[in-house]
Each structure stands twice: as structure tokens, then as C-alpha cells.
Amino acid sequence: MIDRYAEKITALRERYEELNGIISDPEVISDQNSWQRYVREHSRIEKILEIYDEMRRAASEISDARELLQMTDDEEEARWLREELDFWEERSGSLELRLRRLLVPADERDEKDAFVEIRSGAGGEEASLFAADLLRMYARYAERQGWQVEVVSRSETDLGGMREGILGVSGDDVFSHLKYESGVHRVQRVPRTESGGRIHTSTATVAVLPEAEEVELEIDPQELQIDTFTASGPGGQHVNKTESAVRITHIPTGIVVSCQDEKSQHRNRSQAMKVLRARLLDQMEREKEEERSRERRAQVGTGDRSERIRTYNFPQNRITDHRIDLTVHQLEQVLDGELNMLIEPLRSEEEERLLDTVVSAE
């Protein structure tokens, strides 16, 4: 296991020694921007080398414990050696996970907050009910992660379903977790309105957009059409009688964003602009990625939104993620926000692919 990283670590040790000289060079120190960039690289490599050296120690302890286990006839000593072996094997696995996440290329979007956009797809009212279930699932997941979550926009149906909803999620490394959720989600279950007990298949789409900073994307106010209207709830019943809801249309692209969940028109406008900026940045990124479509298809977690990524089968209490052929029989727990049992394997698979690229490049 540890030999896999040997060549990469050797190259990093050489770079580390080179950086020792660079960050102590008076000319580099005088240019604070350059100096800080080199210091960050130096610090990152130092962490990698420390973890690798600890992995080598763990490998040595594991080897010694196994060898002594084969030699001993003493039951008490064997028990103690097995405990030592368990400790160092668990330690080794934890260290390797940390090493892998430091070695893989960083996605500069990973630390960003995100918007989760959910839309009902094929299946009529049942699709709308499923979309509402997904919105609740992501809200619960965000709460479990200790993130802040708010409903930016929600368009409901008369039966409690949802045509479209947008969640704003903020916290530590939000996008790094939620980016794997973009795509088509399929549900198989008996609809509430079905008296015959027949299983129906419906879909909803999820798009996860990293929040864009104003400095990343400048929007010309002249290219915006901003309308206000009275916010309304399901069935057309007015939420309030003032024109607090806001609709913003980006004229060049035709992108339309509506927000009405806040009582303040100013607040709705601010939220709508954030969503618009995220959508525009996402569109720009996807246009760039069309040129790298082969690479994109190879990725696990960032597949095209038209791709079916997951099936929620209620009769069999089963959820299947089709990207990595992962199946779990804990549907209720997942819908209650325990999503890490699906997200972590996706992250590991993607990290493994990226790590193979990094290691084989040496």
C-alpha cells in the first residue's frame, strides 16, 4: 500500500528542500504575494511528508505485530498483539485517507457555499411530492453537518408537492460534499393518490451550484429586467398583499430567477441576485467543460444533469447510486438526511481516480 506513493513522495521531498531555500530568499520575501504562495505550498508538502512518515511507522508496527503473532504461543501476549495490530491498521487507514485528500488536485470551488435547485420532472403530482421530499432531505443533511440552510424559493402545489425549490446552504466545505448530487433522481413507489397499489416511477432533477462572489462575475445592471409582484402560496392564496416578490431576468441569456419567500422586497432581490450569479457562473463553467467532455464523462461525481444518478425504491427500502453501483437498504435514514453513506463513497471513488492520475504522472 505505502509503496504506491513512494515516487510521488520522493518528488515532493525534493520540492520541499527547494522551497526551504526559496522562502528564505530575501528577494522572494520582499514580494509578499509570491512569498505567501510559496509558504502555503511548503506547509502543504510538510503535512504530506509528516503523514507519509507516520504511515511508514504504522506499516512497520503492523509488520512487527504480525510476525510476533506467528511466533508466540502465549495466549495473553497474542491477545495484546492483536489489539496492537487492530490499532495500527485502523491508524494506517486513517492516515492514508488524509494523505489521499492532500495529494489529489484541489477543486477551488470545494470551500464555497452552494445553492441546491430541485425541480419536479416526469410523473405529475407524484414527481412534485418527490421533489419536496428531496428538499427536506437536503435541508436535514445540512443541519446534520452543522451548516446553515434557508429556503430561498419554493413553488408549491395544492397537494403539498413542489414544482421547484432552491436551498441556500452555507458552512465549511459545503460544495465539496453536495456537488455529487447534481443529476436526475428517480423514485419508485406507490403514489398517495393511487388506490390500486401500483408502483409508479417519477423523477426530479437536482442542480448544485457553488455560490459566486461578486468579484468572480460582474453583471451589467443594464442587462437585467427586474419585476416585482405579490407573493402567493399554493392554490393562488396570497401570502401577503404587498409586492415583495422579485423576478430578475438576465436578458442576454434568458435566465429567470424568482424569489418570494422573504417578506422584504430588498431581501428577495438580494437572494435572487445571488442565485442568478451562481447560475451564470455555472453556465460559464459548463461551456468551458464541453471542451473537456471526455474527461467529464470519466468523473464520478459531476456527471451531466440529464444523467440518472440515483434510484429510490420504496417497496424494497433500497437506494441505488448508479455511478458506482452502490446500493444501501436504509431509505428512510437517507431521506432523513443521513446522506454521508452515499456521498462518502462517491468522494472516495473520485479521489481514487484523481490520485491515480497524480501518481501515474510521476
**Domains plus CATH for the chain?**
2-103 (1.20.58), 114-293+301-352 (3.30.70.1660)
Stronger pLDDT, 293 or 86, i.e. the higher one: 86
- pTM flag (> 0.75): no
334-344 residue pLDDT tens: 999 999 999 99
305's grid cell = 444533469
Position 320, amino acid: T
SS3 201: strand
52: Cβ contacts below 8 Å, ≥ 6 apart? 2, 5, 9, 99
pLDDT at 141 over 70: yes
**Dist. CA 326–CA 302, nearest whole Å:** 16
For the ranges 37-41, 105-109, 257-261, 336-340, which has the lowest average pLDDT?
A: 105-109
SS3 350: helix
Q: What percent of the chain has a predicted confidence (pLDDT) above 90?
A: 49
Indicate the helix (H) or strand (E) that contains 59: helix 32-71
For the ranges 129-133, 141-145, 150-154, 228-232, which has the lowest average pLDDT?
A: 228-232
pLDDT of 196: 67
- Report how far apart, in Å, the C-alpha atoms of 100 and of each of 106, 123, 178, 299, 347 are: 11, 42, 20, 17, 11
pLDDT at 296 over 50: no
The CB density around residue 254, as the number of other CB atoms within 10 Å, is: 7
What's the maximum distance between 2 C-alpha atoms anywhere in the chain?
84
258-275 residue pLDDT tens: 888 667 788 888 888 888
Averaged pLDDT, 48-58: 94
For the ranges 8-17, 112-121, 175-184, 306-315, which has the lowest average pLDDT?
A: 306-315
Strand ranges (DSSP E) for the chain? 114-120, 148-156, 162-170, 183-189, 200-210, 224-229, 245-250, 255-259, 308-313, 318-321, 326-328
Q: What percent of the chain has a predicted confidence (pLDDT) above 70?
A: 86
112-123 residue pLDDT tens: 899 999 999 998
The CB density around residue 252, as the number of other CB atoms within 10 Å, is: 10
For the ranges 104-108, 124-128, 255-259, 280-284, which has the lowest average pLDDT?
A: 104-108
203-242 residue pLDDT tens: 999 999 988 776 567 788 888 888 888 766 544 444 455 6
pLDDT of 270: 83
